[in-house]
Structure 1
Amino acid sequence: MNFAYWTGFVVLSFSFYIIWKVRQLLILLFTAVVISNFLNHGVQTLQRFGIKRFYSVLLLITFSLIILLKFFLYIFYPSSEQFPELFLLVSQGIDRLTSPIHEFTMQLDPDLTKTFPSLDRIIEQLHPLFQRIAGQGLSVFYTTLGIPLTFLLLLILSLMLLVNPTAYRQGFIRLFPFFYRSRIDSALRKCDLFLKGELLALLFRMIIIFVLAFTGLSILKIPLSFTQALLIMILNLFPNIGPILSFIPPMAIASLETPLKSLIVLVIFILFYLTIRQIENRIITPLIIKSRISLPPGFILLSQVFFATFFGILGFLLATPLTIIISVLVKEIIVGDILDKWNSSYFLK
């Protein structure tokens, strides 16, 4: 290897080292990019009606703040007062569900019950893991500017990206060689398109989940139906893990009345998620969201574990958009421009 190759290798290694050191700031920047990307599609919709971009941004920000304020004041805050009661009922319901298993194992072998961990023991074992992931992911909030100022920084970054996204986009593209800038621009357009599809699908999914969950729990006359539906909607922000966890509260609370009712809730929830999947695949995606990337559930689960390990709670929350962007870049750049064109003659040469 000559001097130029060694220089490039050292510069590349040093760049990866710097990126690793500032990875928490990069995940904060990526959060701002995702927020501004989602809001930018709303701004573009308003611009189609002839409204200038500045007024479109101002109108959208005002409307979003009003919606968020009303959500917290009239929906989330009143329901949050019922969360302690909800968690108490869930704990009692889980004890009710697990008690037949403990009684059965006691009849077989009293020592066998010691091998089955209790709910308190499971929480005690998972607490250090959750604390480490949360601390790692939120360390950027309390080690740089503090929590209030860092959230303010996140808001300012999102607004700056939203007001003039083209300037930042062109600045990023200029970091690449001239001959490759068109390919990078094309890959970024696809990332933007797929992110829009995924975020719109998530929005529709949450609305449908809340409506169906509240309707089903109300028909079954399960206590705290509205609060449970709100919790189920929030849990479904997390792919794979969220839908599984959302089964637990209604089943546990229903078991306090009759075990049969808990089984009915389980069956309804399975049908409920199958219905949502069919609505997404047959109605939402073909008619409303025509640009979505299909990711295997196992791949998303691995990405959640990977990004949570390196970036903490923010990495876990942003695992899906990060996976979408990485999969598009890998397909367009590594597979399309390198592997597909890497034939045997090129390799021998």
Structure 2
Amino acid sequence: MKKYNVAILGATGAVGQEFLSLIEERNFPFANLKLLASKRSAGKVIKFMGKDYVVEEATNESFKDVQIALFAGGSASTVFAPAAVKSGAVVIDNSSAFRMDPEVPLVVPEVNPEAIKNHKGIIANPNCSTIIMTMALKPIYDKVKIKRVVVSTYQAVSGGGKEAIDELEQQVKAIAENRPVEAKILPGASLAKHYQIAFNLIPQIDVFKDNGYTKEEMKMIDETHKILDDYGMGITATTIRVPVYRSHAESINLELEDDLSIDEVKSALSNFEGVIVKDNPDEMEYPMPLYTSNQDEVFIGRIRKDYSIKNGLNLWVVGDQIRKGAALNALQIAEYMIKHNMF
């Protein structure tokens, strides 16, 4: 099998580390591997597959001879993506910088792989919550058009980075030891106010827009329209940060154009690549973040009719947002391109 020169930008962060784990797990065909990060992390040594790699400071010259550039996300994407493309690399970017650019495909490989062929050097990875939701919507959408989506998310603190994970752990310990609780990170380190997340829920992820929605909520709405290429579908979202370390959950209510039986819904979901139906109320079996963390698939349960509207449907959807919601989805894009000789 042909092998490719790969660069990972943001190699020391949570998504960058997940890239490395998945490259090894999936036997991704790399020839040379270049680990890039900010000046602060340059010089750090990462042992990977029996070899020591020295993390390099990312510059515009870092992408020479690189075919696949996996960007973990953040503001560095806008700085270095053009340089990487100019050097001949295909950038698969996990930031929000290019997602709504009409010239950039926004791709979930199981959902809209056909969009990949239109890339001009950059392919965008959707928001983690959007990926998890569209994995549930697509198999149903292929059967019956969806008129309206109402989604409420229950998002793990790891979506806020390592600092948010550390903060939850420190707050739980402080409460257990009857010490004062400090909050410095959530709902966002750069925001004006911070709230305790331990034993609490925070109904804000990212900044508020003028319309009263948060940026995270609008990402789910706008990105889903683009991925499914259906701008007439009604979508409303409420995104919540919860005191869970890893794996996002979503309560999704659908209004369909025509009726689908529960058996038809379960069959469509069960036969869709990357989805596992776990729905057995008699045995109290349903997806939960604790048991879906570090899994590649999106898990769906609590599948039932919504009798308050015609052709209504309820789903409970859970997925590891660092794997399928970020690193795995990006790597699957690269794997699809390799399989179809697109490099």
Structure that is richer in helix per residue: 1
Say whether the fold is shared (TM-score over 0.5). Answer: no
How does the TM-score come out when normalised to structure 2? 0.28
How does the TM-score come out when normalised to structure 1? 0.28
Relative contact order, higher structure (CA 8 A, sep 6+): 1
Bigger Rg over Cα: 1
Structure that is richer in strand per residue: 2
